[in-house]
Amino acid sequence: MSRLKNDAEYKKTRAFRFFRWMKGEEDPYLDNVEIQPGVPFQDSRTVNEILLEEQETLEKVYNTASNRWIWRFRRLYNVLSIVFSLALAAVMLYMVAKLPTAGTVDRPVNNEVSKVYIENGIQDTGAVNIVTGMILNYRAFDTFGETCVLFIATTCVMVLLMKEEEKIREDQTLNDRRFEPKNDVILQKVAFVLVPIVFIFGIYVILNGHLSPGGGFSGGAMIGAGMILYVSAYGFDKMQKFFNEHTYKVVKVAALCTYCAVITYYLFMGANDFDNHISLGVPGMIFSSGIILWLNIFVGIEVACTMYAFYALFRRGGL
C-alpha cells in the first residue's frame, strides 16, 4: 500500500510540480529564463546624438566638397582597384586554361610519388587509411609544424584577449550570462543527450584515424565542438569544475611534449637508419601502424583544446 506523504515531502515530487504546472498556478520559466536589465547608458547624451556627432566628424574629416583631392584620390583608388582586380582575375583565368587538364592520366601530378604512397602505403606505415599514413608517417615533420600552427594561433589569441581569472570575476560587464537567459532548458536537455554522443564519436574518429576516414584533426574538432556545446548550455562555472585553465595547460603541454618526444625519436631513428623498435602490427587492427595511433591522439587533444580555447577566449577572455 502506498503511504501518504506529508505536505512538505509531497511538494518536492515531480507529480506536484506537474499538476501545479497543468493547473497554471506557476510558470516554471519565471525567474529561470529571463534577461537582467543592462546598466543604464553612462553618457548624458543620447545614442542618437553620439552617432550624429561621429557622422559629423567623419564628414568633416573626409569633406569631399571642400577638398577635391580626397575626392579625386577616392575615385582613382576605386577605379584602380577594380582595374587591378579584373586584370588579376583575367590573368589567373587565362593561366588556368593553360594548366594540365583535370582528370587525365598523364597529368604531371600522377607520378611516382603518389604511386608509391598508394602501393607501398600499407606495408610502410601499417595504416589502412593512406592519407593518415602519409601525413603522420611519411611527412610527420610537416604535420608537427601544422600542429604548431594551431598552437601558435591559440597563443596569439591569448596574447590579444586573455585576462586574469580574478579580473574576469570582478568585472561585471564581462559576465557572459548577464544578457542571456540564465538556464535554457531546451538547450540543456539537448546538450545532455548530445554531448556524450559527440565526445564518443570524436574519440572513435581519432582512434580509427588509421583505419577509416578521419583522424586527429577531424576528431579533435568534434570533441572541441562538444565542449563548446556543453559550455554554452551549462555555463563556465560548471565547465571549470573539470576543465579550467590549469587542466588546459597540463593536458596541452603534456600532449604536445609527448608528441615532440615521439617525433624526435622517429626522426632520429629514421634518419640514421637505426632499427625501428615500434612494431607496425597487423594492418586493420586498432593497435597497429606504430606511431600513427599515438600521434593521432596527441593531434586530437591539441585540436580539441584549440577549438575550445578559441571559443572561451573570444567569449569571456579566459578559459
As a whole number of angstroms, the distance between CA 296 and CA 144 comes to 11
Q: Which residues contact residue 82 at a Cβ distance below 8 angstroms, ignoring those fewer than 6 apart?
A: none
Cell 586527429: give the residue.
Answer: 216
- What's the grid cell of residue 192? 545532455
Please state the closest distance from residue 151 (CB atom) to other proteins, in A.
7
Which is closer to other proteins, CB of 13 or CB of 247? 247
Please state the closest distance from residue 259 (CB atom) to other proteins, in A.
8
Which is closer to other proteins, CB of 73 or CB of 268? 268
Q: Which residues contact residue 70 at a Cβ distance below 8 angstroms, ignoring those fewer than 6 apart?
A: 62, 63, 64
Which is closer to other proteins, CB of 234 or CB of 308? 308
Please state the closest distance from residue 224 (CB atom) to other proteins, in A.
18
Please state the closest distance from residue 254 (CB atom) to other proteins, in A.
9
Please state the closest distance from residue 227 (CB atom) to other proteins, in A.
19
Helices (DSSP H) in the chain: which residue ranges?
7-10, 14-23, 47-61, 68-98, 112-125, 130-133, 140-161, 165-170, 185-207, 216-234, 236-242, 245-271, 291-316
Distances (CA, A) of 166 to 43, 232, 245: 28, 21, 13
Which is closer to other proteins, CB of 76 or CB of 200? 76
* Longest CA–CA separation in the chain, Å: 95
Please state the closest distance from residue 293 (CB atom) to other proteins, in A.
17
DSSP class of residue 173 equals G
As a whole number of angstroms, the distance between CA 38 and CA 179 comes to 7
Interface residue list for other proteins (CB under 8 A): 91-92, 94-95, 98-100, 107-113, 116-117, 124, 137-142, 144-146, 148-149, 151-153, 155-156, 158-160, 162, 164, 249-250, 252-253, 256-257, 260, 263-264, 266-272, 276
Which is closer to other proteins, CB of 144 or CB of 236? 144
Which is closer to other proteins, CB of 6 or CB of 111? 111
Please state the closest distance from residue 111 (CB atom) to other proteins, in A.
4
Which is closer to other proteins, CB of 138 or CB of 234? 138
Cell 597540463: give the residue.
Answer: 250
CB-count burial class (<10 Å; 0-12, 13-18, 19+) for 62: exposed
